[in-house]
Structure 1
Amino acid sequence: MDTSSTHYLCLASALVPAYPIQQPIPVTIEQLTGILCCTPRNVKFILRRLEEQALIAWVPGRGRGHCSQLTLLRSRDEVLEELFQDMVSKGRMKHATELMAEYPVSEPLKERLLAVLDKQMGLRSEPDSASGQEVLRISRNRSMEKLDPATVYTAFETYLLGHICSTLITYDAQSRAFQPGLAHTWEANESRTSYLFYLRKGVRFHHGRMMTSRDVKETLQRLINLGSPASCHFKDIAHVELESDYRIRFDLQQPNLFFLHLFSSIYMSILPYDADFSQHPVGTGPYQVLDLSKDVLVLGAFDLYYGIRPLLDRVEIWYLPHLASSVRQYQLTDASADQGGPTAAQEVQGHSIEYPSLGCRYIMFNFRRAGIHHQLAIRQVLRILYNPLSMVRELGGSRSLPADSFLPWRSSGHLFTEPPLEEAQALLQAGGYQGEELKLAYRTRKEEQEEALWLLERGRKIGLNLVLYPVTEYGLPELIHHADLFICEEVLEDDWQWGMINYFHNESNYLHDLLLDSQKAELAETLEPFSRLAAEDRAKLLDLAESKLRDDCWVLYGCHMNKQAQFSQSLFGLEAGSFGFLDISKLWVKPGFSS
């Protein structure tokens, strides 16, 4: 069916613009060889198959020079929709979306096709299988980023790595305490210049070998060898001693009271020294990688996981740029309803939750590019235009709280005002503005586009020449050369002090690449004593660094965001994981009693 339908779509796309459906079309075999890109013999074979499936009527021409008559019996959209549904039902989501890209579709048809795609996402129970496997499918409306603990920088890929890999210890945000991970206990000397970790015995990597202290040491060395942007956090380590297969000691050049936070971070996910993670992702986490391509990541529960084996058997993450919903779906598919689970009507009544993310959306200036945004007065004009209080009130959506910091609790204590646009106009005139162009970059996501258009209109009212520069993803060279400022979003880990210091120090983010060396030196000087301080003093230092961003308008804070997820009322084990995502390893489906 697939091949015949594809051939029919090819014919319909080439011929229908000139001829309507159900009307004989004069054609020659030579003409059809060009359309179908095959030999005359194969054209005749294809035509017979299409006739057998009642897609066309074919009357061959009689005699040399006489045209044949080809009649297309079904509309192109009808066949495309049928083929799309067939592909999706067989799990060929990527091929289905490529079909949409290859053949132009109307908006009503596109909505129907996306509805078909959405039904395949979420949780599904497969009771017909011998083990009754439970599978979660998640779609992402962007491309996959690099999946490697040494270089990861996006929240979702970090979240996924947390299910594939494990760290020596974990940080519990509620109790503000560290919990055992691959290390069952640890200790530090009184001066905090030496830390000793005691590793669990019997922990297996996904490829079967037992973990030892050598894997821990080689994981750290891998960060250094690869030039990980997080390497700077580990610069205090002077020596690593393998005291045994299950004891490892780190000796430091100076006291470090923040050291444990480093070993609970995703960068220190322990990897096997005898496997290349970039080629074959192997960890000790609750899920192992079964398949990995640019289109899909398939995870399977690791039966030999040292902790509690996940209840969901398989997780599929489909990367479908510009097509999938930005709302995470944890719904059950209709398969569960056949086994006494919720009906379709009940499923609609499932739960939709919103939860605040740690971080905010903000505007970052590109100081690497020459322009009037280097003038403080111009950045202050943008500060008035990009007013958080006005934006929350006028645009709404998932914008939950005006931001004056990356941290919501700090923003909630700030008294926000709404200066009149006339004040911005006066600043613009006082700064000698001559109509210079300011190029604003933004990703083509719904809410970022809303903010860009909103800011453009406010700028127009005071005579500021803002030019919009939409991009699908932020490529650094493109930004540096073409944009003066851009809208972006930072999402922090639950361990917020780690998230903040990583934001200031990590060499892979835009703050590092778009600030001038002199600006980065100011921040580095402010934060220099950070690791030697106790938690309360570290918090004050981070606040001081943020005030530098805020007061000099290097960054314009916008809004804190609420994330949204939808889940079935038959879904249990709802526990928040990193970055506000649900912990997949805790999810399970409760189908209920059979009738």
Structure 2
Amino acid sequence: MITAERYLTLYERFGGETSEGLPVEATLEELSETLYCTPRNAKLILHRLEDEGLIEWIPGRGRGNRSRIAFKVQKESFLLDLSQCHAEQGDYKQSFELLQSYGEGTQAKPKFLEWLNGQFGYRKEEARDGIPACDTLRFPVYKPVTTLDPAQVNYAFDAHLVRQLFDRLLRFDAELGKIVPLLAHYWTSNPEATEWTFYLRKGVRFHDGRELTAKDVVYTLERLRGDTQNRWLLRGVERVEPLGSRVVCIQLSRPNRIFDRFMCSCAASILPAELGGIDEAEFWRLPIGSGPFRLVSHSSHCIELAAHAAYHEGRPYLDGVDMIIMPEDCASSPVGMPEVLVLHHEVDGRHPLGKHRENWQTLTQLCQGCTMLTWNLRRPGSQQSEAFRRAVRMILNTRELVSELGGDRVLPAFGFRPETSQSRSVEPFRPERVKTALRESHYDGSAIRFAAHEKFEADARWIVARLAQWDIAVELKLFTWEDTPCYANPFMDADLTISGIVFSEDEVCEIETYEHGDCVFRSYLDDERLDWICGRIDDALRSDTEPCRRQHLKVIEEHLRDEASVIFLHHKELRTYLHPSVRGVTLNTLGWIDFKDIWLEQMA
């Protein structure tokens, strides 16, 4: 493959495209300079390229006769073949790097994406030559994994993978609307909700074959109580102790009547005690859990899962799941899973399957969460004025934002949940109120520093344009996941940011929105506000009924909205298209498909 890349390097440098296969002049010194090697090594490379039939090298003979090189294979087809070869070997990262480096001026990249589109989907391989039948799902994703450590997890994609690899003590069944057993088959609490006891199943096996016991649960929860982003889950916990090998008792300093819901969170996924005796860095390279799938390989370009045959709730039908991590600039390209499964979360009025749409299933779901703006109240600036924040909120007419940008934006937001927003309508725009608020704020024309991930670019630029109409200057900084290994970094020096949240566990996720160690609220809201929010959360957790808890949490949401510390923008629609042969599929609360439940009906 190194030889092939050298061919492309020489082709670009010496104008092979314009010569149409005819020899072009090139000295040995120019060749060695292009290849960053000595003239002697350049000769060896040229001989190798000749042996492979890629070039013809014609050395200059005599005074005044320059050497010449002829390129015998057209660059676009060669680059396309080379990229496909890397992809077939699983090295998608190298494929895209080659296309990025050498594809300019060619159709290699769009042709590669068209070819790649046919590689995704549900693959059903029949048994042959002693190899058992195998059912594999392969599909693209456009965001790298940030972490697979449940104690640190924050993003929906990471959380979805954690759910495939690990199990929790309990699980919230959204269809039934109640908590059901998972690793614990039974649980109780005292009347004050300050002591919770969990009784573990027998025979639950980790991926390495070891049986899960109370020791693993105690280790996991004690680790979670440490310096982790999700330690909020164990707020108020004083002691975690085993009562035998399959019973765990948890003592709290104050009531938490939904502590069992907390134990449904993927952040409370159970790890093997002491990480199975494996060094921590090595463990997280291929973590061991007790979930329906085990991690076979994990690189910057591919994640490979295999079925956990001894899974306590029944072996998955799928034998494997391959997730190909695509470059972010491919997110708008026509790559999906048209053969069997399409995860198509962007709704823009175009069906990705065109004329074949009639036989496909469509799953549509209004995202339980929202896209919002948050002001950094830990920084000095115009955003410290409530009047200024209210003026910005009025300028950003969310009905017009949804109408003009369209796509998967379907509902102006007035809060975290769509049901809150469905009962309200956007007020008519009143310029005089904006002018009054700006006068009250004493805005001095200083620029607002606005940080946004590139996936929010359309929203961000719309916001910048709207504020510019009122002479509010904004310095927009866009970033990618590759730019920022840590979520908080790009936001800390900004005055304003845009983000999206998804509530996969209802009340618990709403609390997480305020208390997760890496969340935007914890980074942006001042200590006085955070202390007040923490007190309201304590009031909610000691409440006996869900309506009462919801009311306490609603007070927080309304306060942040009324003082415009948060500006709610819109709710999104998630849409997934499925081949008619796929069975067992529903969208989970994260907007993803649980791989364990997928199976393929044999088509005639």
TM-score under structure 2 length normalisation: 0.90
Distance in 1 separating the partners of 2:508 and 2:393: 28
CA distance in 1, matches of 2:395, 2:602: 52
Q: How does 1:231-310 map to 2 (within 5 A)?
A: 231-274=231-274, 275=276, 276=280, 277-310=283-316
Deviations 1:282-314 (A, max 9, x none): 110000111122332211101111111111111
| Aligned AA (2:25) | P
The one of 438, 461, 474 aligned to 2:469: 461
Partner of 2:347: none
Query: How far apart are 1:230 and its partner, in Å?
Result: 2.2
Quickly say closer, same or farther: Cα 1:234–1:344, change in 2 above 3 A: closer
Instruction: Give a deviation string over 1:242-271, Cα, whole Å, max 9, x none.
Output: 221112222332332111011111121111
Residue 365 (structure 1) aligns with? 375
Counterpart residue identity of residue 211, structure 1: L
Matching of residue 478 in structure 1 with residue 490 in structure 2: yes
Identify the range of structure 1 (427-436 vs 509-518) with the bigger mean alpha-carbon deviation: 427-436
Question: Residues 83-141 of structure 1, C-alpha deviation per residue, up to 9 Å, x if partnerless?
Answer: 22222233321210121232252485432222223332332223365222121223222
Please name the residue that 1:61 is paired with.
60
Tell me which moved more, 72-81 or 196-205. 72-81
Partners of 1:309 and 1:273 lie apart in 2 by 24
Partner in structure 2 of residue 339 of structure 1: none
**Partner amino acid for 1:502?**
E
RMSD: 2.6
- Judge conservation of contact 2:92–2:302 (CA < 8 Å) in 1: no
Q: Which moved more, 1:532-541 or 1:234-243?
A: 234-243
Superposed displacement of residue 440, structure 1: 2.0
AA matched with 1:361:
T
Structure 1 residue 200 corresponds to structure 2 residue 210? no
* 2:339 counterpart of 1:332: yes
1:181 maps to amino acid: L
1:81-120 to 2 correspondences below 5 Å? 81-106=80-105, 108-120=107-119
Q: Does residue 184 of the first structure (1) align with residue 185 of the second (2)? A: yes
Structure 2 counterpart of 1:337? none
Counterpart code for 1:457: A
User: 5 Å matches for 1:158-557?
Assistant: 158-225=159-226, 227-274=227-274, 275=276, 276=280, 277-325=283-331, 329-332=336-339, 350-421=360-431, 423-445=433-455, 448-473=456-481, 475-481=487-493, 483-493=494-504, 495-534=505-544, 535-557=546-568
CA contact (8 A) 2:378 2:524 kept: yes
Unaligned runs of 5+ in 2: 342-352
Whether contact under 8 Å (1:193, 1:251) holds in the other structure is: yes
Q: 1:96 to 1:75 in 2, by over 3 A?
A: same
Query: Match for 1:513: what amino acid?
Result: S
Q: Structure 2 CA distance, aligned partners of 1:45 and 1:255?
A: 76
- Sequence identity, in percent? 28
The answer to whether the 8 A contact 1:328-1:565 is kept is no
Deviation of the 1:194 alpha carbon: 2.0
- Post-superposition offset of 1:430: 4.6
Unaligned runs of 5+ in 1: 335-342
Write the distance in 2 (CA, Å) between the matches of 1:435 and 1:240.
54
Instruction: Please name the residue that 2:345 is paired with.
Output: none
Distance (Å, rounded) in 1 between the aligned partners of 2:391 and 2:154: 31
- The equivalent of 2:348 in structure 1 is none
Change over 3 Å in CA distance of 1:47–1:591 after alignment to 2: farther
- The 8 Å contact of residues 7 and 49 in structure 2, kept in 1 or not, is answered as yes
Letter in structure 1 aligned against 2:520: Y
Aligned-partner residue type, residue 339 of structure 2: L
Q: Residues 567 and 221 from structure 1, CA distance in 2 versus in 1: closer, same or farther, beyond 3 angstroms?
A: same
1:141-185: CA deviation from partner (whole Å, max 9, x where unpaired)? 223201100100001100110010001110112332110101111
The SS at the match of 2:450 is strand
Q: Which residue identity does 1:532 align to in structure 2? A: R
Tell me the TM-score normalized by structure 1. Answer: 0.91
1:374-420 CA-partner distances (Å, limit 9, x unpaired): 11121112101222212112221101111111111111112322314
Q: CA deviation at 1:279?
A: 4.5
Contact 1:114 1:323 in 2 (8 A): no
Whether the aligned pair in 1 keeps the contact of 2:560 and 2:566 (CA below 8 Å) is yes
Please give the per-residue CA displacement for 1:215-238, whole angstroms capped at 9, x wherever unaligned: 11111111123x122223313323
1:142 aligns to what SS in structure 2? coil
Deviation at 1:443, TM superposition (A): 1.3
Structure-2 change in CA distance of 1:427 and 1:256 (3 Å)? closer
- Contact 1:138–1:328 under 8 Å retained in 2: no
> CA separation of 1:444/1:591 partners in 2, compared to 1, >3 Å: closer, same or farther?
same
Q: Kindly tell me: are residues 265 and 591 of structure 1, through their superposed partners in 2, closer, same or farther at Cα, counting changes over 3 Å?
A: same
Change in CA separation of 1:106 and 1:496 when aligned onto 2, cut-off 3 Å? farther
Q: Aligned letter for 1:269?
A: S
**What secondary structure does 2:575 align onto?**
strand
- Aligned pairs, how many? 579
**Contact in 2 for aligned 1:185/1:198 (Cα 8 Å):** yes
Q: Distance in 2 between matches of 1:54 and 1:568?
A: 44
Counterpart of 2:584, as a letter, is G
Secondary structure of the residue that 1:462 maps to in structure 2?
coil
CA contact (8 A) 1:169 1:264 kept: yes
